[in-house]
Amino acid sequence: MSANGTITQTLREAAAQVLSEEKVGVVIGYGRDDGQEFSTPVFLRKAEEVKRLVFDDLCFGNLAVYLPRPEIRKMGKTGIVVKGCDLRAVNVLLRENVIKREDVLLIGVRCGGVGQPQLPKCSVCELHDPGGCDVVVGEAIEQQEVKAEQRYTEAGKIEAKPAEHRWEFWQKQLSKCIRCYACRQVCPLCYCKRCIIEKSTPQWVQTSPHLRGNLAWNVTRALHLTGRCVGCGECERVCPMDIPLGAINQKMAKVVDERFGFRSGFSAQEEAPFTTFSTEDSEEGIL
Amino acid sequence: MATKNTSTADQALIPLDYKPSKMRIERITEETSDTKTFRLNFCDADEAQRFEFRAGQFGLYSVFGAGEATFCIASSPTRKEYIECSVKRMGKVTAELHQCNEGDIIGFRGPYGNSFPMEQMEGKNLLFIGGGIGLAPLRSLIWNCLDLREQFAEMTILYGARTEADLVYKEELKTWQQMQDVRTAYTVDPGGETPEWKGEVGFVPQILEKMKPSPKNTIVITCGPPIMIKFVLVSLTGLDFSLESAYTTLENRMKCGVGKCGRCNVGNQYVCKDGPVFRCSDLQNLPQEF
Amino acid sequence: MGEQKLYQASANWLKSAVDALCAAGIEVLAPTQSESGKVDLARVTSSEQVIQSYPNTAFPLKRLFLPMSEVLLEYEKGEEGDVELGPKSAPAKELVILGCRPCDAAALEMLDKVFQWDYSDVPYQEKRDRTTVVSLACSEPSPECFCTSVGGSPQGSEQSDVLVFGGANSAALMQINTAKGEKFIERLADTVTPAPEGTKLPEPTELEQKFDPQKVKGWLDENFESNFWVENSLGCLGCGTCSYLCPTCHCFDIVDEASWNRGQRRRNWDCCSFALFTLHASGHNPRPDQAARYRQRLMHKFKVFPERFGRVACVGCGRCLKNCAVGQNLLADLADIESR
Amino acid sequence: MSEEKQNQSEKSQWQPRIVAFLCNWCSYAGADLAGMSRRGYPAAIKVIRVPCSGKVDPMFVLKSFERGADMVLVSGCHPGDCHYTSGNYHARRKLLAFRELLDFFGIDQRRFKISWVSAAEGAKWSSLVKEITAEAQALGPFKTFATMLQGEPS
């Protein structure tokens, strides 16, 4: 067990305190029932319930997905357990005015990485220590330096293929899509009340799970997350068809990084690349 | 078989391949700024010959390329030369329907669902209460009853809309008004009237209470927006009507129309198969999820 | 039922069946394993593609009869304003499904009930009629399995034309249940022999009953309004994974897709977890939140279906709990209901 | 006729379909000027007028391909000249990123063109259209989307 193992106790104490002092109406954290293969979301309303809380290396979920939900907001101020990667999503929600800082109480966890073996995103994590949280638990973790070329290795593997092979690859991958929209539903940044796919006048994206519709859906999803996606990788984790969605998002993250020097979710004040522009932007490829 | 409402093996199944019949739009009538009535004819003479329905049943109308949408058949089963439907412009299919011209071909499947209880209505006083576009299913029934007038006792029509401009079937409203053996009351919501308006002003339930119809030997059939139905039922109860002798129709999003696509159920009742016509007293026992 | 017809075959029965059927030019679906390790039924042309040992397939059978997306209608608008409708239905080719599990075969019973409810659904029935289902009895149920709680059994023969016991490591015993099953055996010819008189089926595999659907229904009857629905759906993301992987979920959408003067009407899977599922064009939604949608899913399976069709719409395959992204656990929810 | 020759002759008869989204203020006026000054340009191009190049959502482009376009062009005002001050700057960011995504999927990015044509550049418009029509002709029918529906999911 990694360094994460010792955090549970401190986390429970922190949650019990904010609940008993009525600083929050709910704490969203991770719990694990018997037989569960990974830690799953729990919603705690009372200090007595904190024994359900755990933190371990199977806390994959990005709980920020629950923050915009009306049924959660009804409970009052929301306490939420966030890893560094989750905090980036919270920052985007703040930046986009979906939630207000005073409506959330961030319980940051110094996380050494999740997954057995560890997820690729954790080995290039630049936010083991979530800054700007109201409470932080866990011991300090030494931050390894991450080089630019390490950030986009999944996208890079696909970029390295010749174009025909890329299309062949994606054709195979996208044909598998069953349009369950788990990728959208699990994404903390897909908070639209009505997704473009659910609008029919006009019907921009075909809802049928054939390659044409699936391509349109996945292109649309990728573009709507460009400059916003924080790379938490939840979409890829939950995809029941094992489509490498993370690579698509990573590609777009790379595009905005290279073109505009922008990486999403490191601050709640940043200006997103598609809400602004520079007169110096590249003209390459324009006739 | 112990299960309720399930067909037994010896009952012949109707094959359904989801292919619609082609129908030509014979006439388009503009009812209001956002509602049109379409008169349709089967392109195939045999299909026209075979087609039968009962008042209250619905069909799935399709504009090829836009999709299918569900509407009741608004014309009377006694007028066999055509069918009519009245469509309010709301979503994708209805918008496309409104773009259609006379002579265009659209698709139709049906009729589906149950119908108004014509047998129980025989010999009774009939009270029709309609609101807005909800007059469409009632219109089918009203003409059906008028064409068989001697089978029923008194007929009363109470109809209201938000404004004068939102009243549908304006010509027919006049015709009914002029009939000696039909009592009518038309109303618009307060503020919806023009200086020339000679009808009532007020919400349908208020006018109903003012009219004080007798519950004796009367069957009520009411269609309209859910909020109107809700208060009409309150008023009816206040006037000593039994909700056992009151009927209404439900609407839910539907795709198949025949109990397979799984979205129109309210509790264990499928609007497409067990409805759209429901007895009001039965509705009160269903989960309030409509 | 008359005398049970039993045949015996070698441990390699699956592979020999694939070869025999392929040689006869019949379409065969058999368990295969993808690069990522996923086991699924796929069209095969040779026994080399087939694996013989697996807990269950990733997908249930429903997509073979109710495809994820299928064309119901093709249309083409002519110059004169006329519309041509198609396609002409092609004669259905015979198809044999090899090696599905008894729970997945049993699910066809529920689908049959819906698709034969007063109206016989032609696209479904055509595929159903052309297909022979050869199931493989379970000797080692997985931890997520609970077929015995919903009236099934690891050796259940419901809707299996043939049920095979053993195989992989031991000789196979085949139980023939229908005329389609007999035809299947004929095609295998010399690779099977009638079992000697007095041959008995293996002892049933034990699988503890994990809840009582009657008790669950009793609670559901009384508790349309309950805090349970809100509390237990807080974590639910509202995606379609559970429904899409469910052998009995059958809800669908019908959409038109047009390009210029021609297009298709397609039937696509749909799911009661989606907000759009019941949304009216007016904006009114009878099931406005995830709690209502989650309730619909449970109610439909464990209350509405029993009331309309005499049994629950669940076969206990456990795919929903195994695949849920947030660990939503149907079994735990039902146990919770039972304890109330 | 040999099969190869037949293919060649079909290819020469074949006309590409190019969908062009032109901003109302510059490129559309530029195309108009080309017409008024009797500068010919190939008719393969189908013009859709939009208020601003910033209005063009990548979904417009995708939809065009879905509906059978062999090439799509988005054209707006030169940087600094946008009628709405910055629409074309936004378009530049959005559309170039979109083009990279298409390329990532392995979809031929030569099928998607972006240009700046001002209201005074009738000549540029005329030569641009000639140039890209020739390129579309040489590339042949855009099969990626056309063949996409042939394999039905099973």
Of A159, A209, A217, nearest in space to A183 by CA: A217
Q: Tell me the pLDDT tens digit for each residue of A244-263.
A: 999 999 999 999 999 999 99
pLDDT at residue C52, as a whole number = 86
Whether residue B46 is predicted with pLDDT greater than 80 in this model: the reply is: yes
**E strand intervals along A52-127:** 53-54, 78-82, 104-109
Q: Report long-range pairs for A70-75 (Cβ below 8 Å, ≥24 apart).
A: A70/C289, A71/C230, A71/C234, A71/C289, A71/C290, A71/C291, A72/A26, A72/A28, A72/A43, A72/C234, A73/A103, A75/A25, A75/A26, A75/A43, A75/A45
Here the tokens at position A246 are 């993370």
Q: How far apart are alpha carbons C81 and D10 in whole angstroms?
A: 30
Distance from CA of D153 to the nearest CA of C (A): 7
Q: How far apart are alpha carbons B262 and C273 in whole angstroms?
A: 12
Considering only CB atoms, which chain C residues are within 8 Å of D152?
69-71
Q: Tell me the pLDDT tens digit for each residue of B206-244.
A: 999 999 999 999 999 999 998 999 999 999 999 999 999
B21-112: CATH architecture: Beta Barrel (2.40)
Question: Could you give the strand order of the β-sheet that contains C95-100, starting from the edge strand earlier in sequence?
Answer: C39-43, C27-33, C95-100, C131-136, C162-167, C170-176, C5-9, C192-194
pLDDT range class, residue D152, cuts 50, 70, 90: very low
Whether residue A2 is predicted with pLDDT greater than 80 in this model: the reply is: no
Q: Is D21 part of a structural domain of the chain?
A: yes
For chains B and C, what is the number of CB pairs under 8 angstroms? 149
pLDDT at residue D49, as a whole number = 96
We report the CATH number of the domain holding residue D136 as: 3.40.50
**Structural domain boundaries, residue D54:** 15-144
Residue C247: CB atoms within 10 Å: 26
pLDDT at residue A209, as a whole number = 92
Residues A200, C291 contacting (CB under 8 angstroms): no
CB contact under 8 A, A240 and C327: no
Q: How far apart are alpha carbons C224 and C127 in whole angstroms?
A: 37
CB contact under 8 A, B65 and C272: no
Whether residue A1 is predicted with pLDDT greater than 50 in this model: the reply is: no
- Chains B and C are touching, with contact defined as 3 or more CB–CB pairs separated by less than 8 Å: yes
Beta strands D71-76; D18-23: pairing state: parallel
pLDDT at residue A4, as a whole number = 56
Whether residue C251 is predicted with pLDDT greater than 90 in this model: the reply is: yes
Q: How far apart are alpha carbons A65 and A178 in whole angstroms?
A: 22
pLDDT at residue D9, as a whole number = 57
How many H helices and E strands in chain C?
Answer: 12, 13
Pick the CATH number of B118-249 from 3.40.50.510, 3.40.50.80, 3.40.390.10, 3.40.50.300: 3.40.50.80
Q: Tell me the pLDDT tens digit for each residue of B130-158.
A: 999 999 999 999 999 999 999 999 999 99
Residue D4: CB atoms within 10 Å: 8
- Chains D and B are touching, with contact defined as 3 or more CB–CB pairs separated by less than 8 Å: no
Residues C140, C205 contacting (CB under 8 angstroms): yes
Instruction: Check CB contact of C238 with chain A, cutoff 8 Å.
Output: yes
Q: Is D20 part of a structural domain of the chain?
A: yes
Q: Is D83 part of a structural domain of the chain?
A: yes
Whether residue D116 is predicted with pLDDT greater than 90 in this model: the reply is: yes
- For residues A12 and C79, the model is more confident at A12
Residues C245, A240 contacting (CB under 8 angstroms): yes
Backbone angles phi and psi of D43, in degrees to 5: -85, 0
Considering only CB atoms, which chain D residues are within 8 Å of C70?
152
Residue among C143, C239, C253 minimizing CB distance to A180: C239
Considering only CB atoms, which chain D residues are within 8 Å of C64?
154
Amino acid sitting at position D18: I
Whether residue B187 is predicted with pLDDT greater than 90 in this model: the reply is: yes
Taken as a whole, chain C contains a residue count of 340
Residues D135, D110 contacting (CB under 8 angstroms): yes
Residues A259, A197 contacting (CB under 8 angstroms): no
Q: Which of B92, B96, B98 to mutate to test the interface with A (most CBs of A within 10 A)?
A: B92
Q: Report long-range pairs for C253-257 (Cβ below 8 Å, ≥24 apart).
A: C253/A207, C253/B255, C253/B261, C254/B18, C254/B67, C254/B68, C254/B255, C254/B256, C254/B261, C254/C72, C255/A206, C255/A207, C255/A208, C255/B67, C256/B62, C256/B63, C256/B64, C256/B65, C256/B66, C256/B67, C256/B68, C257/A206, C257/A208, C257/B65
Chains within contact range of chain A (3+ C-beta pairs < 8 Å): B, C, D
**Which residues of A have a CB under 8 Å from any CB of B?**
200-201, 203
Beta strands B182-188; B218-223: pairing state: unpaired
Beta strands A53-54; A26-31: pairing state: antiparallel
At D116, which helix (H) or strand (E)? strand D112-116
Secondary structure of residue B57 in the 3-state scheme: coil
Q: 3-class secondary structure for B69-100?
A: EEEECCCCCCCCCCEEEEEECCCHHHHHHHHC
Amino acid sitting at position A269: Q
Please state the domain count of chain D: 1
Residue among D66, D68, D153 minimizing CB distance to C68: D153
Residues A236, C237 contacting (CB under 8 angstroms): no
- Domain positions in chain B are 21-112, 118-249
Within the 21-50 window of chain A, which residues sit less than 8 Å (CB to CB) from chain D? none
Q: Which residue of chain D comes nearest to A163, CA vs CA?
A: D106
Residues C166, C173 contacting (CB under 8 angstroms): yes
Whether residue C166 is predicted with pLDDT greater than 60 in this model: the reply is: yes
Q: Up-side HSE of residue D56: CA atoms within 13 Å toward CB?
A: 35
Identify the burial level of A270 via C-beta atoms within 10 angstroms of its C-beta, where 0-12 means exposed, 13-18 middle and 19 or more buried: middle
Q: Tell me the pLDDT tens digit for each residue of C9-58.
A: 988 899 999 999 999 999 999 999 988 788 999 999 998 999 988 899 99
Maximum C-alpha span of chain A: 66
Secondary structure of residue A46 in the 3-state scheme: coil
pLDDT at residue D153, as a whole number = 38
Q: How far apart are alpha carbons A185 and C304 in whole angstroms?
A: 27
Backbone angles phi and psi of C58, in degrees to 5: -65, -40
Of B251, B262, B279, B261, nearest in space to B72 by CA: B251
CB contact under 8 A, C81 and B105: yes
Beta strands D71-76; D112-116: pairing state: parallel
Considering only CB atoms, which chain A residues are within 8 Å of B92?
200-201, 203
Of C308, C332, C163, nearest in space to C235 by CA: C332
Q: Tell me the pLDDT tens digit for each residue of B188-206.
A: 999 999 999 999 999 999 9
